[in-house]
Amino acid sequence: MKRKTLLTIAILAAFVAAYVVYSNFLKTAPAMKDLVAEFKLSAVELYAQFEADETSANAKFQNKILEISGEVVEVTSEEGGNPFISLKTDGFGVIKCTLESALSFEALQKIEIGGELTIKGECIGMLLDVLIERSIIQP
Amino acid sequence: MKTRNILIGMLLLVTFAMQSQDRFLTRTGHIKFYSEAPMENIEANNHKVLSIVDLSKGQVAVDLLIKAFEFEKKLMQEHFNENYMESEKFPKSTFKGTFTVPEALKSMTDGSYELDVKGDLTIHGVTKPIETKSTLTLKGGKLSGSLLFNVNVKEFDIKIPNVVVKNIAETVEVTANFDYEVYK
């Protein structure tokens, strides 16, 4: 009986330990499709806010999930990195969205320059362009 | 940002007034870092680096966002941002440097120029002076630059826990490559 209790405790302890290790060291952030956007706005509007006041725009948008719609001006894929889609703004820079995962060549070819697109991703800040990471294309 | 616009405006005026092409810019600069440790080698790439070079003043500026570094393993990228670089607190890293412009480069003669660059490097909210060699290459009016330097993570107050000491190098090698365009 005693042995059984000890065994149960040991098994429970092992589960707890495994969970702690998993949640602290092995779990990755949820995929973008499972996250809810805190702000939905146009690329033009987002850039305008950064252009008007970068500090307050950073406070509002940095590290937040955004859903941005706008006109595609460029689709690029870099060696050693995920492809990115640039959305048009009225300012000096663009909204540059790096995709969460690599798309197939066909999927990239399908994105029309000049077409409208809605992209969900995490805003990481501005360097002339406003950068959006882990982006996915919204259906 | 307003001041930046005014600055850009002023620069445009100056550029037009001088009728020269001595300011170059790239927003797709590439910076890679490489960490070599007994347990594993880690590499990360950032293809969204902003850099401006002014050949009349001998100045260079580099700006990047830490979260734009891409790792092969997602988990590594998360640890890098959350545990080591604290990128929510310190989103940007910058370098501002100066160099002596060779006469041949001033007169826009094609060639490869090795320069000594001195400047301030800011990582993880800590600014340190650094000196490094950089190569600027001018070919057919196109300017490209490359530089390599080592960063000691401790100097920038980046804490590496003992458990992963064998996985992350104390000194990380940083290489940068920029293909500039004329800034007009």
Out of A28, A52, A76, closest to residue B74 by CB? A28
Residues of A in contact with B32 (CB under 8 A): 80
Does any CB of chain A come closer than 8 Å to the CB of residue B184?
A: no
Report whether pLDDT(A25) > 90.
no
| CB–CB contact B91 A124 (8 Å) | yes
Interface TM-score (ipTM) > 0.85: no
Out of B1, B64, B88, closest to residue A54 by CB? B1
Tell which wins on pLDDT, A78 or B101: B101
The interface residues of chain A toward chain B in range 68-127, judged by CB-CB distance below 8 A, are: 76, 78, 80-82, 84, 92-93, 96, 98, 122, 124-125, 127
**Percentage of chain B lying above the pLDDT 90 cut:** 59
Taking the CA of residue B104 and the nearest CA in chain A, the distance in Å comes to 31
For residue A76, what pLDDT band results from cuts at 50, 70 and 90? confident
Does any CB of chain A come closer than 8 Å to the CB of residue B64?
A: yes
Domains and CATH numbers, chain B: 21-182 (2.40.128.110)
Average pLDDT over residues A107-124: 90
Output the DSSP codes for chain A. -HHHHHHHHHHHHHHHHHHHHIIIIIPPPPPGGGSPPSEEEEHHHHHHHHHH-HHHHHHHHTT-EEEEEEEEEEEE--TTS--EEEE--SSSS-EEEEESSPPPHHHHHHSPTT-EEEEEEEEEEEESEEEEEEEEE--
Average pLDDT over residues B47-64: 93
Average pLDDT over residues B115-130: 94
